[in-house]
Chain A
Amino acid sequence: MSHSTAKPWLATHRIVMIVIAIALVAYVTLNMRWEWLPRYTDLIAQGLWRTLWLLALSVFFGFLLAVPIGLVQVTGPRPLSALALGFCTVIRGTPLLLQLWLLYYGLGSIFPSIPEIRDSFLWPYLRQAWPYALLTLTLSFAAYEGEIMRGAFSGVPKGELEAARAYGMSPWQVLRRVWLPRAFHRALPTLGGEVVLQLKATPLVATITVIDIYGVFSRVRQDTFLTYEPLLLLALIYLILAGLLTLVFRHLENRLPVR
């Protein structure tokens, strides 16, 4: 391995490959049909925005849920930990698409028949698709991240917790000052990968009529009867998003001190 790391990153074969890649991109831009693009820029921007806030909110709420799910499995009373374990098993054992359709079509078909819900202030939201999409994505992220947090909580050395208790901290203070920050620190390296996986899960919401970036490009495909051009551009957008997310998390990780 040592001889390959000694080589400069821009070795001769890489330059040739980059030239070939540029030629390919040039061929694609010049010879494929892109005249539809200006008409859809507004829609694409809206779709991108919707994808990003679905991602951000589901990761935020999912993580908030994941902390108690992980914690309860490590120290909680038996019924609670069994409940958390069951939740993780069910969510992780069934496809996300099925969960999405179960909530949207299943609950969506029951809610209208309950007068209390139809009269409540929530009803205008429950008639739209995005709350179901956000709920499903949040639960999914909570289950996968909860499993990671369980490992992170149980991986914090016992001595640190005992030291905190010896200082006279209450259990709540131990959790807030020592256990949670240390567990978060341990979980951070995997968090970036989990968020990219969550980004890859978001296009499923287009199947329940939430027009995210994938949904916009599905519409482009239907309108223009083109197959490859929209899909290639969509793939490029996801590549860029995933690359940016990876960079952001690498930056965050580098800012935390490592012993």
Chain B
Amino acid sequence: MELLSEWQSNLALLALSPPGWGGNLLRGLLHSLEIALGGYSLGLIIGIAGACGKLYGGPITRDLLATYTTCVRAIPELVLILLLYYAGTDAVNQLLTWMGRPTIDISGLAAGIFVIAAVQGAYATEVIRGAIKSVPVGQLEAARAYGMSGFQCLRRVTLPAMLPFAIPGLANLWLIATKDTALLAVVGFSELTLETRQAAGSTKHYLLFYCAAGVLYLLVTLVSQVLIRFIEKHARRGLPQQG
């Protein structure tokens, strides 16, 4: 009987409207997903540009990109987040002062997306570079023989053809992106992990709230995996089945 009433009071703590903290957790989850989605999309763009630069760029572009990917893959995300968070906002404000405009406060959301994108971009560069290299050369030569320009060739042939090779790596990167958003809690952005910490701290029900947040993260991962399977099936259509 005592156990039952304790269970009920725990559930009340997770209620969606105050005094329950469920609403806060869900709002945090929404922020996490926003950052993950924004950072991932921007990271994909950086990755495509970086892969093209590494494959087709001149020697200087290639070396600069190699420095970028090496640094990001060797320095902990937490340090990068702090560096980019402060350096990024500083740089924008100095640019604004230089242009004679008043300085602005950069929102945590924008800074978070920028930071996640910079990290994701480095990994995406490597994934996409590998995928482009595994597209049969004959297909690209055929596209060029049709008189397509470099950009047309990229849009019509290279990118769609490399997709099946890139999807496992890119899917992994998406899962990493959703988990990396938790690191923004350290710079004080109120995403799911920080909201959880606040809820746990003010109610002293640490286990309950951390487990609840864990379940939310796990749900994101599991739902993503189902979606990824569909996308992969779609991207691999027309290709021989893998044994």
Contact = CB atoms under 8 A, between A and B. Distances in A.
Interface string A16-46: 0100000000000000000000000000000
Interface in B162-200: 175, 179-183, 185-186, 193, 196-197, 200
Interface stretch (B8-16, B205-213, B235-243): B205-213
Interface string A226-254: 01100110110011001100000000000
B200 A105 contact: yes
A90 B74 contact: no
Interface string B90-103: 00000000000000
B179 to A, nearest CB: 4
B76 A98 contact: no
Contact of B76 (A4, A89, A110, A214): A214
Nearest to B87: A228
B87 A95 contact: no
A214 B210 contact: no
B206 A203 contact: no
Given A14-B63, A238-B79, A106 B207 contact: yes
B110 interface: no
A239 B75 contact: yes
Interface stretch (A74-82, A178-186, A194-202): A194-202
Contact of B210 (A101, A201, A238): A101
A105 B218 contact: no
B34 interface: no
Contacts of A201: 76
B86 interface: yes
Contacts of B222: 89, 93
A89 B220 CA distance: 12
B60 interface: yes
B64, B79, B175, B196 — most chain A CB neighbours (10 Å): B79
Given A13-B59, A93-B221, A96-B179, A102 B77 contact: no
A169 interface: no
Given A95-B182, A201-B76, A214-B78, A102 B211 contact: yes
B204 A200 contact: no
Chain B interface mostly helix, strand, loop or mixed?
helix
A37 to B, nearest CB: 18
Contacts of B18: none
Interface string B48-89: 000000000001100110000001011111111011001100
A239 B74 contact: yes
Contacts, number: 116
Given A200-B75, A228-B86, A243-B74, A109 B204 contact: yes
A6 interface: no
A191 to B, nearest CB: 16
A22 to B, nearest CB: 14
A232 B79 CA distance: 9
A106 B197 CA distance: 11
Given A13-B60, A17-B60, A98-B213, A238 B74 contact: yes
A162 to B, nearest CB: 21
Contacts of B80: 235
A11 interface: yes
A94 interface: yes
B210 A98 contact: yes
Interface string A205-228: 001000000100000000000011
B160 interface: no
Contacts of B197: 101, 105
Contact of A105 (B83, B87, B179, B206): B206
Given A102-B207, A200-B76, 8 more contacts: A90-B218, A92-B221, A98-B213, A102-B211, A204-B78, A238-B74, A242-B74, A242-B75
